[in-house]
Chains A and B, each alone.
Chain A
Amino acid sequence: MKEVQEIVGWFVLRAAIYDFLRSIFILGPKPGVLTALYRIPANPYTQTLSESLLKYDVAGDDLLVEHTQIFTNPATMTAVPYASYYLSPSKLLASEVTISLRKLYAELGYTLQDKTLLEDHVGVELEVMYRLAAKTLDTLKEGKEKELEELIRKQLYFIKDHMLKWIPQFCSDIKKGASKDSFYYKLAIMLETFLADDAKMLELVLSEE
């Protein structure tokens, strides 16, 4: 049962990490978001991130400027935080990719309420994962085996069939706009690695053997 315990630990951790990721991409490096890093149980993913924060003046704007220069400032941005840019042949925002996600979210029981965002914004996709991860924990608590399997399957599908199709390129674009020791460089590495690892873990859980 040790394996099982490890997986449960992973499920607890992943909910916290998805929560952090959706917050940092939607809200930006707000103090409340950054301090949450230290509340997450020790793990290799957020550890390097927390370490990279030490070089920043928490009261200053450096991190916010880094965020703006990479994602928002049209004159400097290197990464477009929308799946459409990477997946739609038009590379334009609010594409057919966005619309298909709108339908997918409805199937999952969600709809976008923050109209300043689009369904394929990286933060929104990560929020979907957070919601499902939190739901997984609830399902675990309730011991609903069938629902649990279904839920895990949906998450794996979303990561593998959608997120991993564009997030690696997105992360590599983040790195283009960040120095190697910067928070966002580390965040890019972390996001890409964590998503891949999460997919592996979910696959393991669903595997026949």
Chain B
Amino acid sequence: MVSRRTFLKGLALAGLGAVAAYSYKPIIDKFALREIGEEERKSLLEAKDGVQVKYTADVMCPSECALEVWVKDGRAIRIYGNYASPHNYGAVCGKGAAGLGLVYSPYRIKKPMIRVGERGEGKFKEVSWEEAIDYIARKLVEIKKKYGPESVIMDTGDVTDRDQYWRLFFAFGTPNCVEHGSICDTPRRHGPKLMLNGKRIEPDIMVPRLVRQPDGSLAWDFTQKARLIIYVGWNPFLATRIAWESRGTVAAKVENGCKVIVVDPSFSNTATHADEWIPIRPGTDADLFAAMLRYILENDDPKDPARRYIDWEFKKYSIGWEDFEKAFREWWDKVDPVNGLKYFTLEWAENRTGIPKEKIRELAHLFGITKPAALIWGMQAPGHHYNGYCASILGTVLNIITGNFDAPGGAIDTEITKSSKGGTATGRWMLGRKVKRIVNGKEVEGTVAQLHMDHYGDWPAAWDDVVGDYPRRFREGVTIRYGPFRGHKYPIKAYILRTGNSVITAGAPWDWIDALTAKDERGEYKVELVVYIDTIFLESALYADVVLPEASYLERMSLSDIYPTYPMIFLRDPVIEPLHESKKPTEIMNMLAKRLYELGDTDIKPEDFWEKYKTEEDFVNEMLAVAPGRPNTGQPLPYPQYPEGYTILGDPESLEKGEVTIDHEKKVIRGRLLTVKWLREHKGVAVWPMSWYRYRRWDPEKKEWVPNKAWPPTPSRMIELVWDYTTPDGKRQGLYAPHNIKIEEAGDIPRGLQEIGFTKFPRTFYWFEQKYNPYTNPKAARLKTEYPFMFISGRVHHAMSGTQMVASLGQCPSEGTWQPLNKEFETEIEDYTPEGIRIRKKKFREGEWCIATIWMNSEDAAKLGIKTGDLIRVVNPLGKHVVGRAYVSEGIRPGVVKIPFATGGRFSPGLGPAYLHKDYTPLDNTLFIPDYLSPIMGQPAFTAIPVKVEKL
């Protein structure tokens, strides 16, 4: 035996000969590690372990709250709310705080992949970014050559951080760049759009507000002013991106005695905190609003304080009331064929809505007499109804005529009060480029915009596009029906999906899958290219040809996309480096642009992409140049030192200090333009002052308030109650006017209008019925017997579509639709401890985990012999069905079944526990009827669908 020393010595000696002869060359001369010198070594070892505090914006849900993130050793270790932002004012919900579980998830998309099996099979191979980009670019160039760039759809799913993708594809030459808005709630937004050129009316309960004081200073105002809020099919405690509304509702109640009424078929989370819950029949919100308006018009008496419902001042600030009222009153003597009652009377509404007429009268009276008040209608009711437009128009009018619009404590359209962003960076200007097409053998010239599949195709007034109609377009292609290219046909050959999950959320999953896997006679997929870009891998990725990993929200730069009641913006600042091979949107844009350019695409100019945007900061600075972009109007005037009515640009500091130039010709006050640098120096947040009555100004000569003609941003800068009119100087104006001009020129009535018997977009108030409501539409009456239930779905933003990959987010008990009705299972689940996240394997026994269920009323259940936990089947008139466990309670109107959004039947593995329950939980959109697209804007009517229920 030799000692260790001897052995090593011997080894060293013997090694000399043996090893000298062996010269080893590494397999690949590329190393993950590099050697470091003594100095670098020292600095790495001596690196301080201090915590850095960084500010950014969330994307775990669309609230996009302002965050404070703690970073140590380059790792994000804690997520908190950012107090500098009044939007969430330091608050962060459980979902926001769970963000690290997504960012550092082992199941993120780490590398680009290309499909090798059939679509849906889920078989991929890793490739380099260069290979993936080359694959996509070649395919795009080929498609562009063969079919035109318009046959490519760029769907950015989520709104946020989309601008780079839109810019690239606008430059490529397609106008078909979309986001999820069209499958969100377009009918709900329609009334505000037509009358205010806005979108989302919300109650004035967001605090704190930055308000100009009489002495000229700015101060935070925390007072709640609202006295009545009526939420109709709107569930801010759970299902909205407007996060401040949940705490504001409670604050208004507690601090100002505000009465909160919730009108909803189900006892929603918001209803649990309301003073009153009114269970309405699904799909009849418009009927309720019509009866409220009729009651108010018939009973208003300016001389009687107990009936002074209408604030007639509104007429001064609006145009077209006489026309609107006339059109509305024309219905009053008509008899409804369904119930034999006169339209919009209390009795009529009682028959349709199932709400006692006394209650409707009380509601109308209360809303008319209480000031300030706000009538709010939601995403999952009018927003998902075939005739939600009527509800949205009536709701907007009710807020306007009662004097609540933009009043303190009243109803504010947040679309037109928030800060502007995006500007020229989004590349919309490229839509104006001239292009030529051969149509019916003739060369025609027009703009890129005029090739839009919806705006110049089947849905001319679909401002937010029509994603719900894509499966049909994938199969049938597009026919341009309006504008210079009328008659031009093109197929859809590429579908680029970024941060969206259309297969689950944009219509019926079975229909989407069918369309994405449809093949032509040669056996090739009809949609030749499907690309999926995201941080997380959802069902739609299974149908993609190429999957690209995008940097997560903690790794990329952009701006929050929020809906506050006054202008503010916060920075999404990368707090850590992108993990794995993920890339930021700006890099992806530049890479793909460059490859397209190299392959000869002359529409792509280096100066529009990689030469212009060397960093993502360059891009975001351009997006910020238009902030806040709102006029200096209202009381108190945001900037009394500057001219009233002028547009405000620049960071809050320079505007406050008077470091501005004023362009009297263009009516612009320009401070130092807001930049990423400025935001970083101010905890990532810019806030400008709030004001109310932003549509009026004081006329010292007349000694009265007059319209300021600067806001709202309608064509007339007045509230417009007519939407296609001629100005005194002979100009055709109004939000419907351009579409009607298109229709008149082409002599072609859009499919949606044909379906409801219209020949063009109405000039003012209009009415049509729900297509499949047997209680309101005689044509649907036959469904009443065979399909006696109405199916509704409830959006739940803390579920969303993908964040369930964080195990604990895979269950959140909410509004009765999620109940602990699981079968026994085992999963890894995280605990949040002072030391950080701890994962442990845990067995959940039956009845311990909340899953998607089918919620139904106890009376109905008793009749069918169903009890909580029973497996039941819900079938729609197409025979499509879902299976799930029943949850029986009195908290839902009889005749209604409710299924939560996108939480059941989830078939993408890696979605955590949600996947484990897929076989006995319902996927709500399975019950959607693909042709049930609301006729004005094509939004899928996801809710109020007749169904039958069977016990299994």
Residue numbers of A with Cβ under 8 A of B are 1, 4-5, 7-9, 11-12, 15-16, 19-20, 22-23, 26-28, 30, 32-33, 36, 61, 64-65, 67-69, 72-77, 80, 82, 85, 89-95, 98-99, 102-103, 105-107, 109-118, 121, 123-124, 127-128, 130-131, 134, 137, 139-141, 143-145, 148-149, 205-209
Q: What residues of chain A lie closer than 8 Å to B40, measured between beta carbons?
A: 111
Residues of A with C-beta under 8 A to B139: none
- A contact residues around B123 at 8 Å (CB): 65, 69, 73, 76
Assembled-state Cα–Cα distance A99/B836 (Å): 15
Q: How many A-B residue contacts, CB cutoff 8 Å? A: 206
Other than the known A106-B41, A110-B33, what 19 A-B pairs have Cβ atoms closer than 8 Å?
A5-B18, A8-B11, A11-B19, A64-B125, A64-B126, A73-B122, A73-B537, A74-B107, A74-B537, A75-B541, A75-B910, A107-B45, A116-B580, A140-B16, A143-B13, A145-B8, A145-B9, A208-B3, A209-B1
Judged by a CB distance under 8 angstroms, whether B359 is at the interface is no
Q: Are B577 and A109 in contact (CB under 8 A)?
A: no
Distance, CA A22 to CA B29, complexed state (A): 12
Quick check: is B830 within 8 A (CB to CB) of the other chain? yes
Say whether B14 contacts A19, CB under 8 Å.
no
Do A75 and B908 contact each other (CB < 8 Å), given the known contacts A137-B24, A205-B7, A205-B8?
yes
Looking at the assembled complex, report how far the CB atom of B125 sits from the nearest CB atom of chain A, in whole angstroms: 5
> Does B108 belong to the interface (CB within 8 Å)?
yes
User: Distance in Å from the Cβ of B647 to the closest Cβ of chain A?
Assistant: 43
Whole-angstrom CA separation of A147 from B821 in the bound complex: 64
- Chain B residues closer than 8 Å to A4, beta-carbon distance: 7, 10-11, 14
Residues of B within 8 A of A143 (CB): 12-13, 15-16
How far, in angstroms, from A76 to B107 measured CA to CA in the complex?
10
Q: Mark B537-579, 1 if CB is under 8 A from A, else 0.
A: 1000110000000000000000000000000000000000101
Partner of A72, one of B16, B73, B110: B110
| B contact residues around A110 at 8 Å (CB) | 33-36
**Are A90's CB and B33's CB within 8 A?**
no
Contacts of B9 in A (CB 8 A): 145
List chain A residues, Cβ under 8 A from B297: none
Q: In the complex, are the beta carbons of A73 and B19 less than 8 A apart?
A: no
- Pick the 8 closest A-B CB pairs, nearest first: A140-B15, A74-B537, A92-B104, A106-B44, A91-B839, A90-B837, A36-B27, A110-B33
Q: Is the CB of B36 within 8 A of A106?
A: yes
Give chain A nearest CB distance to B406 CB in angstroms.
46
Interfacial residues, chain B to chain A (CB-CB below 8 A): 1, 3-4, 7-16, 18-20, 22, 24, 26-28, 30-36, 40-41, 44-45, 73, 75, 100-101, 104-111, 113, 116, 122-126, 536-537, 541-542, 577, 579-581, 828, 830, 835-839, 908-910
**From residue A102, how far is it (CB to closest CB) to chain B in Å?**
7
Q: Given A4-B14, A99-B75, A145-B12, A106 and B838 touching (CB < 8 A)? A: no
CB distance from B640 to the nearest CB of A (A): 51
Q: Please indicate the chain B residues that have their CB under 8 angstroms from the CB of A11 in the complex.
A: 15, 19
Closest residue on chain A to residue B582 by CB atoms: A116
Supply 13 A–B pairs (Cβ within 8 Å), ascending by A.
Answer: A22-B32, A73-B122, A74-B109, A85-B106, A89-B838, A90-B837, A92-B106, A93-B106, A94-B75, A124-B33, A127-B33, A140-B19, A141-B20
How many angstroms between the C-alpha atoms of A91 and B541 in the bound complex? 24
Q: What is the minimal beta-carbon distance from B771 to any residue of chain A, in angstroms? A: 37
**A184: min CB distance to chain B, Å:** 14
Give the distance in Å from the alpha carbon of A188 to the alpha carbon of B201 in the complex. 59
- Whether A111 and B909, one on each chain, are in contact in the complex, defined by CB atoms closer than 8 angstroms, is no
CA distance A4 to B110 in the complex (A): 45
CB distance from A200 to the nearest CB of B (A): 15
Cβ of A107 to closest chain B Cβ, rounded Å: 7
Q: Provide the residues of chain B in CB contact with A141, threshold 8 Å.
A: 15-16, 19-20
Which of A15, A28, A109 is the most central at the interface, judged by chain B CB atoms within 10 Å of its CB? A109
Set of chain B residues within 8 Å of A74, measured between Cβ atoms:
107-109, 536-537, 909-910
Q: How many Å lie between the Cα of A112 and that of B27 in the bound state?
A: 19
- Closest CB of chain A to B127's CB: distance in Å? 9
| B1, closest chain A residue (CB) | A209
Are B577 and A137 touching (Cβ within 8 A)?
Answer: no
